Amino acid sequence: MALDPFVAADFVRNAAPGFTPRVGLVLGSGLGGLADKIDVVSSIDFTDIPEFPQSTVEGHAGRLVLGRLGGMPVVCMQGRIHLYEGIDPQDLAVPVRVLKLLGIEILIVTNAAGSFHEDVGPGRLMLLSDHINLTSRNPLVGENDERFGPRFFSMEEAYDPILREHFKAVAKELEIDLAEGVYLHYLGPNFETPAEIRAFKTLGADAVGMSTTPEVLVARHCGLRVAAISNITNLVAGLSKTKLSHEQTLECAQLAAEDLEKLMIIFLETLKRELLKSHIREDANGNNQ
């Protein structure tokens, strides 16, 4: 039996009565520290949430944190579940659907990734412009749940152009050198072979990692606006002498963690101002908030 996001969402709602998050955040490997900056309303272990898939990877705390970040009401997944853990892909639809049911309109996804560009090395951030899902898996395969979205939907501009411009403007203001590129999702759990990397380069990848596309597919299906940022922890296999391991990923994720925290907080602060302004405009047009 598939997991039921409605049951999970009811449980979370009861843990934070009256609190409606507007933005969802997914924090990738070694990036859980951003959750510590949240002015917490409620924090719930994934293991306590009924009908919620469970993560098994070290460095992924597995907690849902609700509260305010940069003044914005957010719900944050501190840790995520990956396809390579062997989970039924359909169950991977649950976390994002729970966030949608809680009230979010925007999903911001982060991950750790290897870079194909020598001039965009460890410690840099890359804004995703698009993705290539090379896993042959998709949480939306199977009977379509019409309560969330249509059977067929477009993935053009999946990474919201306005949110991307907004991230770029904030990065410029903070003097953070934000790269931009295409993320390729490799199933893992092994890192890629150098031959695979050469092949992926010809496909148009700028970064490679083992997450993100399931969440983005589910989010776009249910009409959420999406942005995603890779924390570059290494150059891809064959491009540097560093031996890739999960420890190396976690260690190097710290290099850009501070930049990512600043970027995210100021992004949310300014987004909140924009949202407030658009509400005022709506009022001026005679609509109720």
181 binds ligand HPA, rule: CB under 6 A: no
Q: Which residue of 90, 135, 138, 233 would you call a contact of ligand HPA, by CB under 6 A? A: 233
- The one catalytic residue among 15, 84, 144, 261: 84
Closer residue to ligand HPA (CB): 73 or 209: 209
Q: Does 209 bind ligand HPA (CB under 6 A)?
A: yes
DSSP lists the bridge partners of residue 64 as 44, 77
Q: Does 93 bind ligand HPA (CB under 6 A)?
A: no
Residue whose CB is less far from ligand HPA, 82 or 272: 82
Q: Should residue 249 be labelled a site residue for ligand HPA when binding is judged by CB under 6 A?
A: yes
* Shortest separation between residue 257's beta carbon and ligand HPA, angstroms: 14
| Residue 240 known to be catalytic | no
How far apart CA 109 and CA 226 sit, in angstroms, is: 8
Taking CB under 6 A as the binding criterion, the range among 14-22, 43-51, 101-109, 228-236 that sits at the site for ligand HPA is: 228-236
Question: Exactly one of 77, 104, 236, 265 binds ligand HPA (CB under 6 A); which one?
Answer: 236
15 catalytic residue (yes or no): no
> Of these residues, 43, 155, 246, 257, which one is catalytic?
246
Q: Say how many residues make up the chain.
A: 289
3-state secondary structure of 12: helix
Dist. CA 30–CA 230, nearest whole Å? 12
- Which class for 141: exposed (0-12), middle (13-18), buried (19 or more C-beta within 10 A)? exposed
Catalytic annotation present for 112: yes
Max CA distance (Å), the chain: 62
84 catalytically annotated: yes
Verify binding: residue 234, ligand HPA, rule CB under 6 A. yes
Of all residues in this chain, which one has the CB nearest to ligand HPA in the complex?
A: 114
Candidates 210, 218, 229, 266: give the one binding ligand HPA (CB under 6 A): 210
113 binds ligand HPA per the rule CB under 6 A: yes
- Residue 104 found at the interface with ligand HPA (CB under 6 A): no
Catalytic: which of 234, 237, 253, 256?
A: 234
Give the pairing type, strands 207-209 and 178-185.
parallel
Q: How far apart are CA 197 and CA 153, in angstroms?
A: 30
Q: Does 114 bind ligand HPA (CB under 6 A)?
A: yes
279 is catalytic: no
Per residue, what are the HEC states of 101-170? HHCCCEEEEEEEEEECCCCCCCCCEEEEEEEEECCCCCCCCCCCCCCCCCCCCCCCCCECHHHHHHHHHH
| CB 64, CB 27: distance < 8 Å | no
| Residue 114: C-alpha distances to residues 61, 123, 230 (Å) | 22, 11, 9
Instruction: Determine if 257 is a binding residue for ligand HPA (CB under 6 A).
Output: no
**Residues designated as active site:** 29, 60, 82, 84-85, 112, 210-211, 234, 246
Residues of this chain that interact with ligand HPA (CB under 6 A) are 112-114, 186, 191-192, 208-210, 233-234, 236, 244, 249
